[in-house]
Amino acid sequence: MRAAAVQLNSSADRGRNLNTTERLVRAAVDDGATLVVLPEHFDLRGRDEDYLRDAEPLDGHSITRMRELARELSIDLVAGSFAERREGHDKPSNTSVHIAPSGEIEAIYRKIHLFDVTVGEVDYRESDSGEPGDSLVTGNQIGLTVCYDLRFPELYRILALEGALILTVPANFTRTTGEAHWEVLLRARAVENQAFVIAAAQSGEYPPGMPAYGNSMIVDAWGEVLARAPGGDAECFVAADLDFDRLREVREQLPSLANRVPAAYRWPQEVTA
């Protein structure tokens, strides 16, 4: 299987973002990709008020267009994430959607870990404009996660134990945290779970004062970076062939998943960090 990670520099201009997304997805498919992963907030990236005002339902324009594109190109498409409006919910969810080659929705994951963090002098408060999900999701051996989830290894271990061979990480990682932790965390999640990691990232600086890291990556089960995009404000795709025979070889020769001892593991009593 050839997989691609699309890197965008999305803004609050949904039409422009979707046109760029489609162009890069088509280019990745021309390069042989049959699985394409988009970044977090691929269709709309902005401030809290943008997500609260312009969130769409699952059958809204953004996901409908991606479903049509996946069907036309006959590919698996992970629509990174978008602000999903749901009836009965005051705030939108940050939702990742796996679309099958038929154009049907294979799996839906709503981001569990919201980014309420201060980076330098910039406050990020995702909970101001979003509602967290509460369910882990694996569909057709693809485990879905979003951005800040990357810092919570237990989520990825469960996805691997549920059969995920590919872990997707659409992201809008900050430049500061990306420079410090992006690659090491992606490689760690791949090595720990002996799975491929496809991380599609945002680049550029939007909104102003909130620069993203870029550096979209594809990592194999041995922790080798198979493909990497540049930082800056680059909009592009990177692609790599996923060798599942090699993945099985890694799992057989270094069977860390098989050597787990679940009976010895106990969650400690919760403490305040």
Tens-binned pLDDT, residue by residue, of the chain (273 aa): 999 999 999 999 999 999 999 999 999 999 999 999 999 999 999 999 999 999 999 999 999 999 999 999 999 999 999 999 999 999 999 999 999 999 999 999 999 999 999 998 889 999 999 999 999 999 999 999 999 999 999 999 999 999 999 999 999 999 999 999 999 999 999 999 999 999 999 999 999 999 999 999 999 999 999 999 999 999 999 999 999 999 999 999 999 999 999 999 988 887 776
pLDDT of residue 122: 86
14-30 helix and 61-73 helix, angle to the nearest 10 degrees:
10
pLDDT of residue 272: 73
131 is catalytic: no
Read off the pLDDT of residues 131-154 as tens digits, 9 standing for 90 and up.
Answer: 999 999 999 999 999 999 999 999
pLDDT of residue 267: 87
Q: Kindly state the tokens that stand for 27.
A: 């280019």
Task: Let me know how many helices (H) and strands (E) the chain has, helices first.
Answer: 7, 14
Query: Which of 190, 133, 195 lies closest to 162 in space, CA to CA?
Result: 195
pLDDT of residue 269: 83
Please enumerate in sequence order all residues whose Cβ is within 8 A of that of 137, keeping only pairs 6 or more positions apart, or say none.
Answer: 107, 108, 109, 143, 144
Beta bridge partners of 119: 122
Instruction: Give the domain ranges of the chain.
Output: 2-256
Q: Kindly state the tokens that stand for 3.
A: 């997989």
Catalytic residue among 40, 56, 126, 131: 40
Beta strands in 43-193 (DSSP E): 76-84, 93-99, 105-110, 116-119, 122-125, 137-139, 142-144, 166-168
Pairing between strand 166-168 and 142-144? parallel
Catalytic residue among 106, 111, 126, 131: 111
111 is catalytic: yes
Contact 223, 183 (CB under 8 A): no
pLDDT of residue 255: 97
Please tell me the class of the 2-256 domain: alpha beta
Secondary structure of residue 223 in the 3-state scheme: coil
147 is catalytic: yes
Catalytic residue among 84, 106, 126, 147: 147
pTM tops 0.85, yes or no:
yes
